[in-house]
Amino acid sequence: MTVTVARIAARILPSVLALAAALIVSATIIAVSGRNPIVAFGALFGGAFGSLDSLSEVGVKACPLLLAGLAIAVAFQAGVWNIGAEGQLLMGALGVAALGRHGEHLPAWLDSASDLAVGAALGAAWAGIAGQLKLRRNVNEVISTIMLNFVALGLISYLVQGPLMEAGGRYPQTDAILQELWMPRLTPYRVHFGLIIALLAAAAMHVLLYRTVPGYEMRAAGLNPAAARLAGIDVERRLLMALMLSGALAGLAGGIEVNAVTHRLYEHFSPGWGFTAIAVGLLGRLSPAGVVVAAIFFGALDAGSNAMQRVAGVSSVLVSVIQATVIFFLVALERRRWFVEPTRPSAT
């Protein structure tokens, strides 16, 4: 089993190195600004893991990042560069926010679950637009998914100021969803059942990618489309499947956030989860287990940043610096060239 241990170590090494480098860079920035990096990092850590309350906050922050990070992992493993998790997430949030204002004649938990399913489906459909454009018109999915983010943003901006605006008509936001639809939380803490869903989704993605035929085919199609095609794999179908699955996970991330945390949709609903998710996915080496760890790490950074500002006087924005630096180093260390289309085989 030493071989397996060595392989896992080799796989996570770039992430560890990137993290170390990011910590050194941010420590330098803290030191240059005249504060004590050790105090700051201590406050950051304490703010995240110091109490049950803060631990619960880590879970709340990690939940959307975990689901959206899984969305990135699935798409990227299949060689589809989905940069549109943000838009797909917003569409999922829109579905849950719109449907949750009125109850159906269903048990509340079933109503809530069906709303989430609709949110996931909306995310999948949003990603599916880019997928169809790629298959039919050979439109690069990097461009189309990015552009669809703006369309989703614009659509939500219109809806929350128009058709879906709250009944009182005071703020650009939807009405809150019915309280009986809210998913259970671990009172008195804020951490909610969505985190369980996200962890189950990670387990499901692990099984899909490494234990099933479609998952194998997606990975094969992503790593070497020419060889996959010759082996009888329907590469186009797998690309579309991965992209729509990715959209569904992102949609679920947005849907759960509405259902469990904000209870309503408004402009600037997402602080960029769909983009941070790319960092989470890469830091997690695109493996579901890695994404879980990366999402908790990023969630902890978010949750601890306020404590760092309060205790050490270091602006909470520094957390964004850490996150960004991680990605810079990861991409620099990565041997695989991101976003470069694989070349087609030449003639014999």
Which residues from 306-345 bind other proteins, rule CB under 8 A? 345
CB of 304 to other proteins, least distance (A): 36
Q: For other proteins, what does the binding mask look like between residues 226 and 265, x meaning CB under 8 A?
A: xxxxxxxxx-------------------------------
CB of 233 to other proteins, least distance (A): 7
Which tokens hold the place of 37?
Answer: 């990096």
Total number of residues shown for the chain: 348
Contact by Cβ (8 Å): 115, 107: no
CB of 347 to other proteins, least distance (A): 5
CB closer to other proteins, 179 vs 348: 348
Q: Looking at this protein, which amino acid is placed at residue 314?
A: V
CB closer to other proteins, 29 vs 139: 139
- Tell me how many residues contact other proteins (CB under 8 A): 25
CB closer to other proteins, 3 vs 167: 3
CB closer to other proteins, 138 vs 348: 348
Query: Considering the rule CB under 8 A, would residue 5 count as an interface residue with other proteins?
Result: no
Local structure of 116: helix, strand or coil: helix
CB of 217 to other proteins, least distance (A): 7
CB of 7 to other proteins, least distance (A): 6
- Residue 170 neighbours by CB under 8 Å, 6+ apart: none
Count CB neighbours of 153 within 10 A.
17
CB closer to other proteins, 209 vs 314: 209
CB closer to other proteins, 91 vs 218: 218
Contact by Cβ (8 Å): 66, 295: yes
Q: For other proteins, what does the binding mask look like between residues 189 and 228, x meaning CB under 8 A?
A: ----------------------xxxx-xx-xx--xx-xxx
Q: What is the enclosing helix (H) or strand (E) of 144?
A: helix 141-161
Extended strands (E) in 13-59: none
Q: What is the enclosing helix (H) or strand (E) of 61?
A: helix 52-77
CB of 237 to other proteins, least distance (A): 11
CB of 2 to other proteins, least distance (A): 10
CB closer to other proteins, 4 vs 179: 4
Which one, of 113, 192, 158, lies nearest residue 266 by Cα? 158
Q: Of residues 5, 32, 167, 347, which one binds other proteins by CB under 8 A?
A: 347
Contact by Cβ (8 Å): 287, 73: yes
Contact by Cβ (8 Å): 277, 65: yes
Q: Of residues 138, 179, 187, 348, which one binds other proteins by CB under 8 A?
A: 348
Contact by Cβ (8 Å): 322, 22: yes
Can you tell me the distance from the alpha carbon of 140 to that of 229, in angstroms, rounded to the nearest whole number?
20
CB of 289 to other proteins, least distance (A): 16
CB closer to other proteins, 220 vs 318: 220
Which one, of 92, 102, 47, 91, lies nearest residue 201 by Cα? 92
CB of 158 to other proteins, least distance (A): 36
260 burial type by CB count under 10 A (0-12 exposed, 13-18 middle, 19+ buried): buried
Site residues (vs other proteins, CB under 8 A): 3-4, 7, 211-214, 216-217, 219-220, 223-224, 226-234, 345, 347-348
